[in-house]
A and B are shown apart, each in its own frame.
Chain A
Amino acid sequence: MSRFAFSDEQDAFREVLRRFLEEVSPPSEVRRLMEEEAGYDPAVWRRMAEELGLTSVHIPEEYGGQGFSLGELAVVLEEMGRALLCSPFFATAALATTAILNAGTEQEKRELLPGIATGETIATLAFTEENGRWDAAGVETVARQDGNVWRLEGTKSFVLDGGIADLLVVLARLEGTDGENGLGFFTVAGEAEGVARTGLQAMDPTRKLARIAFAGAEAQPLGEVGQAAAAFARTLRQAAALLANEMVGGAEKLRESAVDYANLRVQFGRQIGSFQSMKHRLADMLLEVELAKSAAYYAAAAAAEDDAALPAVAALAKASASEAYLQTAITTIQIHGGIGFTWDNDTHLWFKRAKSSEVFLGDGAHHREAMMANWHLMEAGDET
């Protein structure tokens, strides 16, 4: 895959995914699952793992995976964003798996990844805390050595699917350290002693969030304790690029529904899509979504190739997707008129996902700043 076109294999893969997701995640299923606490369908999860191998897409073969790149994972997420799939997939694949790949030792990867690859283990990454910061400096949870065991003290918040994950990958720090120093990844079983999980009321009910308090919970180090900053930063960038792809999938779906409705709805004796102001809005919408898609695809390819400019590129893509998705959602509601404001119309489901995704991993301003801080990495040249 170049950064500007998908390969035939990727297109074929996308086709299969789209058909599968249309079958398992129609809006009626989204609505059913979003009202439930767990927020996903275990039978669908099993099919994702067993029939399509989605839980193992970017896990290398030696750890039981399919050995594809983050580029293929991005395609999967784009399609899931389109279908608004309710599933702990982003948490497991894009966050936890990626963190394990970035931070873990050979031995740890061999232990942790096969279970994720088969779909047996649902995992998540717990790094944000109640201060709501998306960077290393926000980490206050402390890891202490107690004989040969490590124990965690502190509270994580905004943890994606934290209420149901079997495996928690937790970012903590050594006592007395701050900023990027002294960080360590740890793994803790979701049901371990000393772990208290509370579901949070999420504005976007299609994505479950939890607060997790660790009171001396026993934890296994993942990678070298005290040295996790680089792996964490890399994980965040990859996750931002992946989230941008999920977001443009949702934005595209909304845009299509807006065009469909403009073709269908008649006012003043004609289709509303025949009004020039409506045409212009829809044309602008296409422009915004396509720009955001280009950025997201470029970032996914850059992530797959481990491009040195990823810190700037991923931030660019996430900032672009944050604006485009929310704006598309606002316009889609507007084009639907009164119906667009109702609970029964599906637009608000995507609107709320747009809102939560805008904020998750940092909002547009956060990523614009990150992009500017790393812009020098782009200047080496970006024509691949």
Chain B
Amino acid sequence: MSAPSEETVRAEVRAWLEANWDPSLSLVEWRGILADSGWGVPHWPEDWYGRGLPQALVPAVEEEFQRIDAVGVAKVGIRMLAAATLLEHGSDMHKEKFLRRILTGEDTWCQLFSEPGSGSDLAGAATRADLKDDKWIINGQKVWTTSAHHAQYGLLLARTDWDAVKHQGLSYFVLDIEQPGVEVHPLRQMNGHASFNQVFFTDAVIEPEFQVGELGEGWKIATTTLMHERRGADALRSWAQVSQAEGRCYEDARAEVVTVMEPYKWYPQRAGRVDLVLERARESGAIDDAVTRDEIAKLMIMAKSAEWTARRARAAQLQGRPQGPEGSLGKLASSHVARAAARVHTSLSGADAMLTGSDGERDGVIAEILVSAPATSIAGGTDEIQRNIISERVLRLPKEPRTDTDRPFRDVPRNTVS
């Protein structure tokens, strides 16, 4: 089946919106209608709230929404990683139970992968899942869990077999966060926000039907989640762009931004806010300073080439060509952009770079860039891990000799401190 043209799709979504968009509906009601129509996530399969369109056409659909300020489905954050993973590996029951509520925004999800002892080395997870009386009993600890403090469900990577080698002893589950055996403690970050958490499990329970995939397939499924994460599927790009117009739907959407999204206010800042650079340079006149101008030029070259690399990937996909290496490249490029942008914003601020909060430039937004940019090269897999992936999987260089995959996991050296 060949994909419809962009014009056809634009015309279709425009007509549908004309007939259905109603800002007086509640946010959940509207998103329900939208989910059922397939226009909320048009690249999803037709059986599951989508229209089976290629990913590359999604921006066109989004533009049509933006054109009339129509509110979209909830698609920021870990929820999209959960959805992508469940679409690929979940049972029909999982899809039925979870997908729609993900899109309406009724449920929030978190990713319970990293642990104090295993971050880059995710397959070293030591949280245990033991089958007792036909239920999975979970014990252990996760950390850096974004959203856990307001999530209903978590994607859990846990060890089910300690005698198997590392990658084969893991299984993947959907965990109900709201139960007595789960304790969530927010962690404060260096920028003062608290969007990630420590999560402790003490005999937390998972019904067997909430295992995802087969026993021992946890690593493989986690890889799907991570791949989507590295492609930026969880980006919070559009979070703040709710229209100020009147109508129940807008009001609900604005309330969602204020409450649910509060801890993530800093997410756009961690990417470097390249969008603010030229505007600031023009305002202050720094655009005419040869040194600053050159720094800005270098940043713009980096940012634009990164954007166009992502566009090339999308175009290739539209043509049905195989996925290239852009996934890991994009993430690595974004770290470079964030660092360079923080540097340029510093020099544009001059002495004001020393100030923060309401005394800082742009009400503290610039200061927030400076203290948030370091997250970009750590979250979602560090730059070093991206480079390992690129060199070993894309460039096919010889693999690093490993000493942790040739023996039962229980015999692998682990952190004595963490």
Contacts and interface: CB of A to CB of B under 8 A. Distances in A.
A202 B356 contact: yes
Given A268-B121, A365-B291, A278 B384 contact: yes
Given A209-B354, A269-B402, A200 B413 contact: no
B119 A351 contact: no
A107 interface: no
A283 B79 CA distance: 41
B2 interface: no
A86 B95 CA distance: 55
B359 A267 contact: no
A218 B356 CA distance: 32
Contacts of B349: 359
Interface in B103-145: 114, 117-121, 124, 143-144
B121 A343 contact: no
A338 B415 contact: no
Interface stretch (A245-253, A290-298, A329-337): A329-337
A233 B314 CA distance: 56
Nearest to A158: B351
Nearest to A368: B291
B190 interface: yes
A269 B413 contact: yes
B124 A267 contact: yes
Nearest to B413: A269
B402 A266 contact: no
A201 interface: yes
A376 interface: no
B367 A365 contact: no
Given A334-B377, A359-B354, A267 B403 contact: no
Nearest to A360: B354
Contacts of B45: none
User: Which one of B339, B383, B415 has the highest number of Cβ atoms from chain A below 10 Å of its Cβ?
Assistant: B415
A355 B355 CA distance: 11
A115 interface: no
Contacts of A365: 291-292, 347
Contacts of A266: 117, 413-416
A32 interface: no
A343 B360 contact: no
A203 interface: yes
Contacts of B397: none
A235 to B, nearest CB: 17
Interface stretch (B86-94, B155-163, B368-376): B368-376
Task: Decide if the interface of chain A is mainly helix, strand, loop or mixed.
Answer: mixed
Interface in A318-352: 330, 333-334, 337-338, 340-345, 347-348, 351-352
B11 interface: no
B412 A203 contact: no
Given A338-B114, A355-B346, A330 B355 contact: no
A201 B360 contact: yes
B417 interface: yes
Contacts of B417: 264
A4 B375 CA distance: 39
A101 B302 CA distance: 48
A267 B120 contact: yes
Contacts of A359: 346, 349-351, 353-354
A267 B190 contact: no
A92 interface: no
Contact of B370 (A203, A342, A345): A203
A167 to B, nearest CB: 23
Contacts of B353: 203, 355-356, 358-359
Given A267-B119, A278-B384, A344-B188, A203 B346 contact: no
Contact of B403 (A269, A278, A351): A269
A139 B118 CA distance: 54
B120 A351 contact: no
A351 B403 CA distance: 35
Given A269-B404, A338-B119, A352-B371, A363 B124 contact: no
B46 interface: no
A110 interface: no
Contacts of B374: 330, 333-334, 340-341, 351
B355 A343 contact: no
> Which 5 A-B pairs give the minimum distances between C-beta atoms?
A269-B404, A132-B351, A348-B190, A343-B188, A267-B121
24 contacts: A132-B352, A133-B350, A134-B351, A158-B354, A202-B354, A209-B355, A268-B121, A268-B124, A268-B402, A269-B414, A275-B400, A277-B387, A334-B378, A337-B120, A338-B143, A342-B189, A343-B192, A355-B354, A355-B370, A356-B354, A359-B350, A359-B353, A363-B350, A365-B347
Interface of A: 128, 132-134, 157-158, 200-204, 209, 264-270, 272, 275, 277-278, 330, 333-334, 337-338, 340-345, 347-348, 351-352, 355-356, 358-360, 363, 365, 369
